[in-house]
Structure formats: C-alpha cells, structure tokens
C-alpha cells in the first residue's frame, strides 16, 4: 500500500508484501526514476511507485517493453540519477542484448534491475532462472531471503552500483514478491538528486574495449561480497552436513532443521550475494564439513558454481547434492517446506513425525470437478473466441490459430474452445503466422489467424506487423483490444492515454498505427456476434495481409465504471432440455454467470457472478434471457 512505502516512520514495523518492501527500498535509496513492463509477480512495484510519484518527486513509467524500460533507466543513470528497472524473468530474456551492452558501458547514477522469477510458473508460460543472465552479462546479483532483506538489498544495491559504476541485479521469486512479512522501515532521504550535466567528453559506450573494465568490476564485486552482511553461517563448528542456500530456501531450511531436530549436526550457510560468489568465504566454511545440500529456486545455479569452486580447491573433499541429477531435490518446480524437509530426511537418514492424518481410499473420496481457469463473466475474449471458432468452422479447410501472451492465452484451453495451434513468447504469434502465410506459394491453403492483445501489440507486434506487411503474408491478424494490460492487473499502456503516474497523455491509436504501416484494417465489436462472425468469414477469404481489431473493454474494468444491468431468465420462455439448444448458455457459451437450475430444469443467471454484459441475451435461441437497466459502454 502506498502509505506504507512513503511513511516517514523510521523504525516502525509493518506487514509488507515483498513488492512493497522493494518499492520502499528504492525510495529509501532516493531513486528519482523508475521504469518497468508489467509481468507477474513483479507488477505491483511500478504500480505503487507510479501512484506515489508526485508525492515523492520521482518519475515512473510503464515502458512499452522491457528493453525500453532498461534503456530509459540507463539514460537517466547517464545524468547521475538513481534509477530502478523492474521486470519478470521472461522480460529479462527480451532485454538480453540491452543488459549485456549496459554491463559493458557501465552506469553513472546507481541502476538496480529487479527481476522477479516465477518458479513453477504459477503465472507464467515457463519458469526460468534469471541468475544465468547475471553471470553471462557479468552483472552482480543479490538474492533476498525475506521481505526485510528485499528492502535492504534494493537500497544497498544502489550504493554498490555507484561504487562499481555497474548495474546491479536483485533476483526475487514469487514467494518473496507475493509474500508478506514484517518489515522495519528505514529513512527516506529528504535530499532530491538533480541531473548532472553531461559534458562534451562524457561517454557511456558499449564496446569491447571495455571488456577488461567489466571483468575488473565483477572481481571487485566478489571482493566486496566476501565481507557482505547478506551472507552468514548458523550451526555447529564442524557439522556432519551443511545446507547451502539462498532466497526462500533459507527459511525452509531453518524449519526443516528444527522439525527433524538435527541442529547439532546440520549447519546452514546462507548466501545473499549469488553472483559473483564470495569464493574465500564459501571455502572457509566448506573445509569444516564433508557433505553439502544446496537448496535454491529453479536451476542448480548456486550448486554448480559451488561445484566449480570445489574443483579449483584440491583441499576440499565434499559430497555435493541438490537439484543436479534430480537425486535429492526435483529438477523442476518451486521449493516448498516439504521438498526441503524430505531432502534433509534423505540426507541425514532421520525420520519425520508429522501430525496424525486420515487417509481416505481413492474409491471413497468425493470426486471433485477441476477448477479450470476461465475468462471472467462478461469478458470480451469469450465472445471473440466463440465467433472465431464459428467463422473458422464454416470456412472450408481448418484454420490455423497462432496465439500469444495475455488473458487470451486461456483461449488455448477450454475457455476458448482449445482454439490455439501455436503458443510461444510475446509477439511470436504474428511473426510465426507471417512465415506460415508465405507457404501459400507451395500450396499451403489453410487460413492463418494470429491473435494478440493491445498491450502485446505495442510490446513486440509492431516490427512483426511491418514484416508481415512488407512481405504481404497471407494471414489475418486479430488484435483483441480490451483497453488494458488485464492479465497483470490493468496497467495502462500507450493506447489508453493514461501514464503510470495517473496523468493523461495523447493515446496512440492502434488503428492509426496499423493504417500507417499500410494495412487494411477493420474494427468490430466482439459482443455483436452475428455481424462480427460475418466480417471474420469475409476477411478470411481475402488474400494477403488483413488486420481486424476486436474492440470491447475488459469486463472487470467496465464493471467498475458503469451501473450493472440486471440479467435474468424468463422461466416461461426457457424451454429447458426440450429446447434443442443443448443448454447452449451454460454448456457452450460457458460464462460463469450462466448456470443451470437443476430443480427447475431451466437456465439461470448467477446474480453474484454476472456483470450484466448481456451478450447471452443475444445468443439464447428462445429469447428467454432478459436484460434491464444498466449503462451502455463507450
């Protein structure tokens, strides 16, 4: 919450979300610039900084993509301004070239890049370990083990960045970003940085001449990390076994040692500076044991870099275990207290006595329907996928649908009638469709449809659209414009006309951008199912590149702005199972607001869930669904 991250109450302890702690840490460092692209679990950070920007006299922006964000921060840093950049793990891969180049040029004002990994991919297409990028780009990396440390590391990261003249990365995971714990506040500096003059001979240039300087900086970081208070050992002097851990693994490790009662034989070495590793500090502890279990999120990064250290130190005789080889900790999926405790049981040969549990045989257990993700009640994507399915079905030859990343990714599942044939990273749908659409010359005759949302359009689809237009690929590009980056929590983007700081700005019209590239474009309302289906059908028959914008505001946003219409079923008109529609409204349409009244044998509207969009009113073959009142959308 905003009041917590700006409160002038040094020493006061609040329950803070990891993302709040990170925002607070940046403000305690006196940042004046922040840029990010939304991505779970990192999105709350820039949202909050945007909200407090005026009060704290900082600038905050939702950049068009992650590369724009990092390079904007680099620009501000060139004038000596402390800058915070935030993204999720997939974004870090988008930003790979910018990161490796920035590391070569170095920085002036402190630049901290917070990257939020999502182990088990709770809200991502894939899990990925950002630490490889820190090693590859020779950028120092800090990894907090709790919310307090997240705040301290971000704050100190700016000092380190200025000391080294290098950017610094802070890697968090979902359990830190979206976890909450007690955080004690520090001071927010009263002094506000002013931009330095960039002189005629000042340079920030990325070229291989600076490779030696880059190497010297990472070695200097290693020396600093040897004494870092973020690294510590807790346990017996000569433990039978040592857990070496970083991030969330620390508290899980502490709990496992306690649960198994092995604190007299197992020590814990907690590392907060995961790249470059403080080699002397680690060796100093390794000489005191023979057996090591490495506990970390996603890849065996710490483990294999410790293996490297062991390889260079012949005095060490260590049995090293962790995620490598999947022997003790699974290679895939996030850490849990159970995973860590089971690993320790395995390593120490102890047993765990848990609470008494009733085991219910499978045959006696109540069968539970799975709770699949679905589009919200009233979501325009439901209408878009329904009408695309209809038009592709009536079209001769099966259409190929290339998906993309956003709420509409669920269109690849039941919610969207399993419509996707292809799904990769952001912007991949239209690019791959371009290639497929070129195969017409070799006899490929299936209609090709690429889908992308409005935020994704700005993020990575624009160069792909230029490519598709210039090479006149045979394809239909459908932009699902719901006026929101809905998936990550409704952050504004350039098409909306609102900045992260809540200021109005001239919106950039997607339609005009598409037209300027020279593409014919049609704009239609997905809620007008009959005529929009007709439009899609007609467009699919035309050769060359076609663009269709399906425009209808995100239901969750719309419901906040307008008075809700009342939707109900007229039981005299609903013919129930006699109708022949096969319970169309609940079974086919699949909106959570359309349920079935089993007692009456009729359709029903769940008044708690329904948002009053009224699309089902137009779809009911018996005209039994009625709508009354409410306000129309823009």
The footprint of another protein (CB under 8 A) covers 13-15, 17, 40, 122-123, 146, 175, 178-182, 248, 251-252, 254-255, 259, 336-338, 341, 354-358, 360, 365-377, 407, 410, 414-415, 487, 489, 556, 583, 586-588, 590, 592, 594-596, 606, 608-609
CB-nearer residue toward another protein: 332 or 542: 332
Q: Which two tokens stand for residue 535?
A: 């439009």
CB-nearer residue toward another protein: 237 or 367: 367
CB-nearer residue toward another protein: 201 or 362: 362
Nearest distance in Å: CB 324, another protein: 23
- The H-assigned helical ranges of 524-592 are 529-541, 555-561
Nearest distance in Å: CB 128, another protein: 17
CB-nearer residue toward another protein: 414 or 503: 414
DSSP characters over 599-618: TTTEEEE-TTT-----HHHH
CB-nearer residue toward another protein: 330 or 397: 330
Residue 623 burial (C-beta neighbours within 10 Å; 0-12, 13-18, 19+)? exposed
Please state whether 583 falls in left (phi above 0), alpha (psi between -120 and 50) or beta: left
CB-nearer residue toward another protein: 31 or 176: 176
CB-nearer residue toward another protein: 354 or 580: 354
Cα–Cα distance list, 317 to 10, 266, 292, 305, 314 (Å)? 47, 17, 10, 16, 8
Nearest distance in Å: CB 211, another protein: 41
Cα–Cα distance list, 1 to 15, 20, 275, 491, 496 (Å)? 10, 7, 31, 16, 24
Chain length of the chain: 634
Rounded Cα distance between 474 and 450, Å, is 11
Nearest distance in Å: CB 490, another protein: 11
CB-nearer residue toward another protein: 346 or 446: 346
Burial readout 251-285 (b: 16 or more C-beta within 10 A, e: otherwise): bbbbebbebbebeebbbbbbbbbbbbbbbebbbeb
Cα–Cα distance list, 232 to 5, 248, 268, 578, 603 (Å)? 28, 15, 8, 72, 63
Rounded Cα distance between 1 and 91, Å, is 25
> Within 10 Å of residue 207's Cβ, how many Cβ atoms?
10
Cα–Cα distance list, 559 to 378, 554, 564 (Å)? 9, 9, 7
Nearest distance in Å: CB 371, another protein: 5
Nearest distance in Å: CB 255, another protein: 6
CB-nearer residue toward another protein: 179 or 399: 179
Rounded Cα distance between 137 and 308, Å, is 18
| Cα R_g (the chain), whole angstroms | 28
Nearest distance in Å: CB 88, another protein: 13
Rounded Cα distance between 282 and 242, Å, is 11
CB-nearer residue toward another protein: 63 or 594: 594
Nearest distance in Å: CB 543, another protein: 37
- Enter the DSSP assignment of 364: G
Nearest distance in Å: CB 232, another protein: 15
Nearest distance in Å: CB 515, another protein: 32
Q: Are strands 594-597 and 83-88 parallel, antiparallel or unpaired?
A: unpaired
CB-nearer residue toward another protein: 442 or 598: 598
Residues 6+ apart with CB under 8 A from 71: 98, 102
Rounded Cα distance between 28 and 34, Å, is 14
Q: Are strands 400-402 and 448-453 parallel, antiparallel or unpaired?
A: parallel
Query: What phi and psi, each to the nearest 5 degrees, are found at residue 215?
Result: -65, -40
Nearest distance in Å: CB 23, another protein: 16
Nearest distance in Å: CB 509, another protein: 28
CB-nearer residue toward another protein: 339 or 436: 339
Cα–Cα distance list, 260 to 182, 254, 270 (Å)? 26, 10, 19
The C-alpha angle with vertex 553 and arms to 552 and 557, in degrees rounded to 5, equals 160
> Within 10 Å of residue 538's Cβ, how many Cβ atoms?
12
Nearest distance in Å: CB 181, another protein: 4
What's the 3-state SS for 57-70? CCEEEECCCHHHHH
CB-nearer residue toward another protein: 167 or 298: 298
Query: What phi and psi, each to the nearest 5 degrees, are found at residue 349?
Result: 70, 20
């Amino acid at each position: 919450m905003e009041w917590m991250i700006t409160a002038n109450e040094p020493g006061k302890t609040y329950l803070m979300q990891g993302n709040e702690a990170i925002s607070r840490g940046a403000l305690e460092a006196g940042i004046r610039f922040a840029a990010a692209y939304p991505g779970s679990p990192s999105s709350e950070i820039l949202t909050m900084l945007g909200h407090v920007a005026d009060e704290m006299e900082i600038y905050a922006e939702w950049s068009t993509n992650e590369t724009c964000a990092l390079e904007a921060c680099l620009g501000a840093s060139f004038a000596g301004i402390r800058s915070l950049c935030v993204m999720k793990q997939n974004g870090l891969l988008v930003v790979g070239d910018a990161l490796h180049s920035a590391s070569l040029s170095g920085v002036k004002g402190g630049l901290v890049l917070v990257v939020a990994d999502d182990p088990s991919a709770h809200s991502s297409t894939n899990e990925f370990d950002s630490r490889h990028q820190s090693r590859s780009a020779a950028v120092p990396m800090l990894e907090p083990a709790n919310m307090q440390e997240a705040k301290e590391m971000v704050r100190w990261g700016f000092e380190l960045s200025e000391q080294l003249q290098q950017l610094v990365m802070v890697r968090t995971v979902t359990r830190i970003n979206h976890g909450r714990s007690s955080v004690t506040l520090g001071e927010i500096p009263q002094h506000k940085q002013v931009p330095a003059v960039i002189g005629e001979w000042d340079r920030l240039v990325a070229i291989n001449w600076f490779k030696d300087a880059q190497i010297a900086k990472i070695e200097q970081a290693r020396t600093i990390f040897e004494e870092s208070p973020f690294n510590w050992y807790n346990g017996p002097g000569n433990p039978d076994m040592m857990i070496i851990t970083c991030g969330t693994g620390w508290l899980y490790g502490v709990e496992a040692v306690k649960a198994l009662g092995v604190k007299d034989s197992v020590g814990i070495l907690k590392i907060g500076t995961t790249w470059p590793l403080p080699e002397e500090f680690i060796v100093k502890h390794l000489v005191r044991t023979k057996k090591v279990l490495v506990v970390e999120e996603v890849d065996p990064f710490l483990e294999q870099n410790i293996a490297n250290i062991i390889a260079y130190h012949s005095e060490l005789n260590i049995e090293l275990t962790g995620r490598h080889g999947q022997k003790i900790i699974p290679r895939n999926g996030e850490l849990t207290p159970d995973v860590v405790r089971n690993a320790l049981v395995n390593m120490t040969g102890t047993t765990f006595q848990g609470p008494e549990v009733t085991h219910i045989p499978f045959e006696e257990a109540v069968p539970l329907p799975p709770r699949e993700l679905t589009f919200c009640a009233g979501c325009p994507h439901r209408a878009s996928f329904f009408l695309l399915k209809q038009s592709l079905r009536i079209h001769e030859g099966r259409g190929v649908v290339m998906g993309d990343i956003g709420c509409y990714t669920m269109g690849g599942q039941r919610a969207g009638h399993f419509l996707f044939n292809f799904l990769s990273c952001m912007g991949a749908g239209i690019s791959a469709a371009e290639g497929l659409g070129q195969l017409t010359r070799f006899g490929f005759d299936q209609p090709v449809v690429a889908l992308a949302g409005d935020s994704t359009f700005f993020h990575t689809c624009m160069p792909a659209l230029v490519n598709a237009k210039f090479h006149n690929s045979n394809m239909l590009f459908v932009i699902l414009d719901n006026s929101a980056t809905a998936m990550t929590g409704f952050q504004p983007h350039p098409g909306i006309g609102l900045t992260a700081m809540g200021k109005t700005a001239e919106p950039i019209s997607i339609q005009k951008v598409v037209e300027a590239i020279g593409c014919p474009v049609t704009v239609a309302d997905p809620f007008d199912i009959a005529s929009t289906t007709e439009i899609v059908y007609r467009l699919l028959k035309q050769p060359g590149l076609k663009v269709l914008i399906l425009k209808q505001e995100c239901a969750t946003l719309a419901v906040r702005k307008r008075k809700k219409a009342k939707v109900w079923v007229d039981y005299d008109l609903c013919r129930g199972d006699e109708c022949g529609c096969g319970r169309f409204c609940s079974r086919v349409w699949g909106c959570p607001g359309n349920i079935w009244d089993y007692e009456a044998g009729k359709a029903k509207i769940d008044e708690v869930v329904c948002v009053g969009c009224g699309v089902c009113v137009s779809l009911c073959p018996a005209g039994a669904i009625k709508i009354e009142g409410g306000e129309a959308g823009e």
